[in-house]
Amino acid sequence: MALFRRIANLFRREHLDREIAAELQAHIDLRIDDNLARGMNPVEARRVALVQFGNPAATREHVAAADATLRLEDIRRDLRYAARQLRRSPGFALTAILTLAVGIGGITAVCSAVEAVLLHPLAFKQPERLVRLHEGVEHHFEPADLPAPDVIRFARDNRSFVQVAGFVGAQFEVSGAGKPFQARAERITASLLPMLGVQPALGRAFTQSEDDNSAPVVIISNAAWRTRFNSNPNIIGTTVDLDRRPYTILGVMPDGFQFPLSTGRVSHRDLWVPMSFTSDEKQDETDNFQYGAIARLQPGVTLAQARDNLRRMVATVEAEIPPQYGIHLTSSVQSLQEESVRRARPLLTALAAASGMILLMACANLANLLLVRAAGRQREFGVRAALGAARVTVVRQLLTESLLLSAIGGALGTALALVLVRIAAATLPDSLPQSNAIAVHWPVFLVAFGLTGLTGIVCGLAPALASLRTGLMDALKKAAGSTSSTHSQNRLRSILAILEIALATLLLVGSGLLVRSFAKMLQTDPGFQAQHVLTASLTLPEQGYQTQQSINALYGELLRQTAMLPQTRSVGAATNIPIVGINSDRNFVPLGYSPRDGRAWVSASNYFVLGDYFRAMRIPLIEGRFLAAQDEQPDAPLVAVISQSAARLAWPGIDPIGRQFRMGGNPKSARPLITVVGVVGDVRQGALDQSVYPQMYEPFPQAKRQFETAVQRSIGNYRSLYVVLNSAGDPAVPQASLEKTVQQLDPLLALSDIHTMDSVVSATQASRRFDTGTLSGFAMVALALALLGIYGVMAHSVSERTREIAIRMALGANRREVLQGILRDALKLTALGTVAGLAAAAIFTRFLRSLLYGVTPLDAATLTSVVVLLLVCSIMAGLIPARRASGLDPMRVLRSE
Amino acid sequence: MAKNDLQGTLDLLVLKTLASSPLHGYGIVLHIQRASEDLLRVEEGSLYPALHRMEQSGWIESEWALTETNRKAKYYKLTTSGRRQLNLAEESFDQLVKGVRAVLRYA
C-alpha cells in the first residue's frame, strides 16, 4: 500500500514529476481564472496568481520529496559514500573482505565437494534400492564377496530381491584390433545391466541364454570404443579376439558408465563379458570368496528383512559344510550407495567440520572488525545527529556500508569457490568416486553468504543503533579520535578472539595429527626395497598355452632371457606383488598346530614365485634359504618360504625350518605335505598404513601339486604373473628391452601395468597426502584468521589506552615494561583460547581416528607443538601493537589531547 | 510550537475540508479561507507537499477530473482511514486548545 506506492514511485519518476507540474499548473490556472473573473487583465491576473502561489519550483521539489522517501538517487549516493568510507580505511576494508571471501569461498567449495561425492546419487535406476551382498567367515575375515555357487544359489532361492546379479574381474589379451593390449574386464551375469537400468548406447546387452551357454559375446566400454576402435559406428557384430578366441561385439556402453564401483581405485573396465559360470566354479569349495553380488530390493522390502533373508540362506550353506572345518559363515547386506562413499566419508566429514569452523571464525573476525570500527565513529554519529540527520539516514548508510562489504566479499568468495572446486576436481585422488561431478553447490553458497552477510549487518548496525541513543553531549565530550568503548564491548571482543584461537587450536591439532600420520606412513618399512624395481603384469591366454607346463615353460624362458639383459641385476616373478593389495588368502594346517579359537587352520597371504624374486625385491632372508631353481623342477619336493609373522603364528616359539604343513582348512585332508625351507622378513601386502599379514611363498611350478592328485586335473591353470626386475640404474630404462623380450617370445603377448615399485608405493600414499594437505591448508587459514583476531584486539586496546600508556611512561615506566605488559595481555588471551581449544580437541579428535595411522588422537607431541606454535605466533601478532605502544612519545601524546 | 504541531493542524484542516466533498488543491485553499473568515491563509508551498504526504499515508486519494470551467485538475477525497485520522486529529486538537486555554486562564 503506502510502501508499494513508494517503491513504485521510484520508477515512475518522470511520470510523477510531470504530474506534479501539471497539478500545480492547474492550480495556478484556476487562480488566474478567478482573477480574470474579478476583472484583472490577463497579464495582471497571471502576475498576481504567481505571487500568491509562491515559488513553483521549490514547491515542486517539496512535493516530490514527500512522494518518494526512498529514492534511487539516495541509494546511489549512499553507495558512493560507503565506498568512499571503505576506501579511506583500506586496511579494515581489505581484511573484512578477505575474511568474508575466505569463509564463504572455503565452505562453499568443501560442501560442494561433499555434496557431489557423498550425497550424489549413483547413475542407476532407483539406486537407493540397490544393495550389495557380503559373505564372510567368522574369526577369519569380515564379510566380503561370495563364492560362485552361493551367487547362483542366492539368486535362485531368495525372497527379498527382484534380482541378484554377480560379477567378478577378469583380464583378457585383446588382439585383432590394432595393437594387442591387456584389457581389464568384468564378467557379469545377464541380470546385471537390466537391474541397474542401464542400456548400451550402441547395440544391446547379452541375454540370459547367451550367459547360460557361454556365448562368446562382449560389450565394450565407451572409452575403449573411442581409443582402440576409432569410434567405428559399424562395430556391432564385428569380432575381436579375446585371449585368442573370437568374440562378437554386441554393444558399446554409454560414456561415463562405471561398473563395478570400487572404493579404492578408479574402476576402469574396457569390456564386459557374460559371467558364464564354468562347471568348476559351480562346484567350487567354500574358500574362494571372490564373486561380487548386487541385488535390487523388492518393493516394500527393508534392508533389515533382506539381511535376515540372506542370513537364513547362508545358514543353509553352512549346514552343508562338514563341521570339523569349524567354519561359521557371516553375512551382511549394505546399501550400494553407502558403500561407494564409505572410504571418502571420514575425510569429507572432517573437511566439512573444518570449513564450518573457519566460517565461524570468519564471522567472529568480521564482528570484531566492525565493532571496533563502529566504536571509533561514535563521535561522528553524535555530531551528525546534532546537525539534524535523521536516524533513518545514518542507519541506512551504515546498512549500505555493511551490504557493500558483504557484496564484495561474497563476489570474491564465489570466485574463490569456483577456483577451489576446479582445483579439487582435478587433483582429487582416485579414492573419491564421482569426482568429476563436483561443481559449486549454490544452496551452500547462499547459506554461507547469508550467514556472513547477516553477521556483517548485525555487527555493523548494532553499535550504530546503540550510539544513536547516547546523548549528543556525551558523544561530543569524548576526546577527538579517542575510541573508548564500554567494558562489555571490550569483553565481547576478547571473547571473540579467544573463540577464534580455540577453533584454530582445534584445527591445528587435527591437521597436526594427520601430518604425523603421514610422516609415520612414509617412514614405514615396506619390507622390501622399492627403488630400482620395475614391475609388469603378464597373462597368458588359453590359445597356445593350454597346459600348465607350457605356461611355466614360457615364463621360465622369459626370466632367463630377461636376466641376460645388460640392465638387469636380478629378475623374478610372482603371482602378486606387495603394496598392491592382498589378492590371495589361503588357509593351511601346520603339523603339530594346536587349535586356537576352535579352528585348526591358519590363514596367510600366498604368493607363488619364480626365479630370483626375493633378490629382485630385496626381501631380507632371516633363516634357511630362498626358493631356488632346484625347486622349480617337476619332481622337486614341495617346499615353501614363510615370513616371520607367519612363523610366529603357525609355530610360536619353535624353529620353523623343516616343519611341515598342508594347504586347505582340513587337518585330516589327503593333501601333500609341504616343508618350510626358509624364513624371510615381512612385507606389506597393502598400502603402508595397512596392517601386515602373514605371508607364504611357494615355487610357481608347484602351485597345482599342493592339491590331491585326483583334484589337480580339474584346477584351472595359473596364467598371470608379475615380472619383477631389479635394474642397475633407473628402473624405467629396461622397460623397452623387457617389452621387446616378451614380443620376441610371442608377438601376440602384451605386458600391462608396467610401473616402477616407487610409483606403486607413492600411488598408495596419494590419498593420504591429499587428506593431510587439505586439512593442513584449512588449519593454516584458521591460524591466519586467529592471528588477525589477536592482532585486532591488541591493536584496538593499545589505541584505546594511548593516554593511559603515555601517562605511565611519563611517570617512569620504561619501554620494555610497556612492551611486556602488552605481550602479557596477548599471551593471556592466547592461553585461554588454547586451553579451550585443547579441551575441544580432547572431545572431538576421536572422530578422526579412522584417518590416523601410528598416532593416537591425543598424541602428546602434536598437542605440545600446536601450543608452542600458537604462543609464538600470538607473540608475533601482539608485537606490532606492542612496539607501537612502547614507541609512543608520552609528551606528544599528552600534549595533543 | 514545534513544527510537528503546525503540520498536524494543516492536516486537520485539509481532512475536515475534504470530509464534506472532494476538492482540488485550489478549492481547498479557497474553502479554508472562506470558512475561517479570512483568518487562515494556507501557504501553497506547504499545502501540496502535505497533500502528497497524506496520500502516501493513505488518508486521501486522488484522481484527475474536469472542473466546472472545463479545466483538468487533480481532485482529492477522503478515505476510510482518512476519516478515522480526522476524528483522531480533531480530538487531539481539542485537547490542545483546552490545555492552552487552561494555562492562559491560570495567571
Q: Which residue has better confidence, A892 or B90?
A: B90
Least confident of A112-121, A175-184, A692-701: A112-121
**A18 touching chain B per CB within 8 A:** no
Per CB-CB distance under 8 Å, the chain B contacts of A2 are 56-58
**Dihedral sign, Cα of residue A290, residue A295, residue A301, residue A302:** positive
Rounded Cα gap, residues A26 and A36, in angstroms: 15
Determine, for residues B44 and A53 on separate chains, whether the beta-carbon distance falls below 8 Å. yes
pLDDT number for residue A389: 61
Residue A845 near residue A514, CB atoms below 8 Å: no
pLDDT number for residue B87: 92
Q: From A57, which residue of chain B is nearest by alpha-carbon distance?
A: B45
pLDDT number for residue A466: 61
Q: Which of A347, A460, A365, A494 is nearest to A102 (CA)?
A: A365
**Dihedral sign, Cα of residue B59, residue B62, residue B67, residue B72:** positive
Closest Cβ–Cβ partner in A30, A31, A63 for B48: A63
SS (H, E, C) A223-282: HHHHHCCCCCCCCCCCEEEECCEEEEEEEECCCCCCCCCCCCCCCCCCEEEECCCCHHHH
Mean pLDDT computed over A733-752: 86
C-alpha cell of A562?
630377461
C-alpha cell of A318?
553352512
pLDDT number for residue A218: 92
pLDDT-based confidence at residue A480 (cuts at 50, 70, 90)? very low
Rounded Cα gap, residues A517 and A243, in angstroms: 44
C-alpha cell of A433?
568416486
Instruction: Return the DSSP state at A635.
Output: T
For chain A, give the percent of residues with pLDDT over 90: 9
Count Cβ atoms below 10 Å from residue B99 Cβ, excluding itself.
10
Q: From A20, which residue of chain B is nearest by alpha-carbon distance?
A: B48
Q: Which of A720, A573, A702, A697 is nearest to A634 (CA)?
A: A702
H-run or E-run covering A524: none
> How large is the ipTM?
0.87
Residue A706 near residue A663, CB atoms below 8 Å: yes
pLDDT tens, position by position, A171-206:
788 888 777 887 888 899 998 999 988 889 888 988
Least confident of A23-37, A268-282, A415-429, A713-727: A415-429
Least confident of A229-233, A410-414, A424-428, A441-445: A424-428
- Using alpha carbons only, how large is chain A's radius of gyration in Å? 39
Residue A108 vs residues A97, A402, A451: alpha-carbon distances, Å: 16, 21, 12
Rounded Cα gap, residues A200 and A254, in angstroms: 6
Mean pLDDT computed over A572-577: 88
Q: What is the pTM of this model?
A: 0.62
pLDDT tens, position by position, A589-634:
888 777 776 677 788 888 899 999 999 999 999 999 999 888 888 8
C-alpha cell of A45?
491576473
Rounded Cα gap, residues B45 and A59, in angstroms: 5
Angle at A346 between CA A344 and CA A350, to 5 degrees: 115
pLDDT number for residue B3: 38
Per CB-CB distance under 8 Å, the chain A contacts of B52 are 20, 63, 66-67
pLDDT-based confidence at residue A771 (cuts at 50, 70, 90)? confident
- Decide if pLDDT at A264 tops 50: no
Per CB-CB distance under 8 Å, the chain B contacts of A67 are 52, 56
pLDDT number for residue B42: 84
> Coil, helix or strand for A70?
coil
Give the residues across from A290 on adjacent strands: none
Q: From B48, which residue of chain A is nearest by alpha-carbon distance?
A: A63
pLDDT tens, position by position, B18-68:
998 999 999 999 999 999 898 888 888 788 888 988 888 889 999 999 888
Q: Which residue has better confidence, A159 or A290?
A: A159
**B48 touching chain A per CB within 8 A:** yes
pLDDT tens, position by position, A838-875:
998 888 888 777 778 888 888 888 888 888 888 888 88
Residue A656 vs residues A588, A624, A639: alpha-carbon distances, Å: 14, 9, 12
SS (H, E, C) A763-803: HHHHHHHHHHHHHHHHHHHHHHHHHHHHHHHHHHHHHHCHH
Determine, for residues A66 and B56 on separate chains, whether the beta-carbon distance falls below 8 Å. yes
> A10-24, A481-495, A518-532, A631-645 — which one is most confidently predicted on average?
A631-645
C-alpha cell of A680?
624371510
Closest Cβ–Cβ partner in B44, B46, B72 for A26: B72
Domains of chain B, earliest start first:
3-102 (1.10.10.10)
Tell me what the pLDDT averaged over chain A comes to.
80
Determine, for residues B24 and A67 on separate chains, whether the beta-carbon distance falls below 8 Å. no
Instruction: Return the DSSP state at A835.
Output: H
Instruction: Return the DSSP state at B107.
Output: -
**B24 touching chain A per CB within 8 A:** yes
Per CB-CB distance under 8 Å, the chain A contacts of B71 are 26, 29-30, 33
pLDDT-based confidence at residue A685 (cuts at 50, 70, 90)? confident
> Coil, helix or strand for A180?
coil
pLDDT tens, position by position, A312-338:
988 888 888 777 766 788 888 888 877
**Residue of A63, A69, A71 best to disrupt the B interface, most CBs of B under 10 A:** A63
Mean pLDDT computed over A516-525: 82
pLDDT number for residue A746: 87
pLDDT-based confidence at residue A587 (cuts at 50, 70, 90)? confident
Residue A654 vs residues A311, A650, A659: alpha-carbon distances, Å: 41, 9, 9
Determine, for residues A67 and B52 on separate chains, whether the beta-carbon distance falls below 8 Å. yes
Residue A401 near residue A82, CB atoms below 8 Å: yes
Per CB-CB distance under 8 Å, the chain B contacts of A6 are 56
pLDDT number for residue A248: 92
Determine, for residues A27 and B44 on separate chains, whether the beta-carbon distance falls below 8 Å. yes
State the smallest CA–CA distance between residue B96 and chain A in angstroms: 26
Determine, for residues A33 and B72 on separate chains, whether the beta-carbon distance falls below 8 Å. no
Rounded Cα gap, residues A220 and B35, in angstroms: 100
Q: From A31, which residue of chain B is nearest by alpha-carbon distance?
A: B26
pLDDT number for residue A475: 53
Domain ranges of chain A: 2-70, 140-327, 345-523+764-895, 542-747
Per CB-CB distance under 8 Å, the chain A contacts of B74 are 19, 22-23, 26
Per CB-CB distance under 8 Å, the chain A contacts of B72 are 22, 26
C-alpha cell of A73?
538517487
Residue A461 near residue A402, CB atoms below 8 Å: yes
State the smallest CA–CA distance between residue A81 and chain B in angstroms: 28
Instruction: Return the DSSP state at A116.
Output: I
> A45-49, A93-97, A140-144, A684-688 — which one is most confidently predicted on average?
A45-49
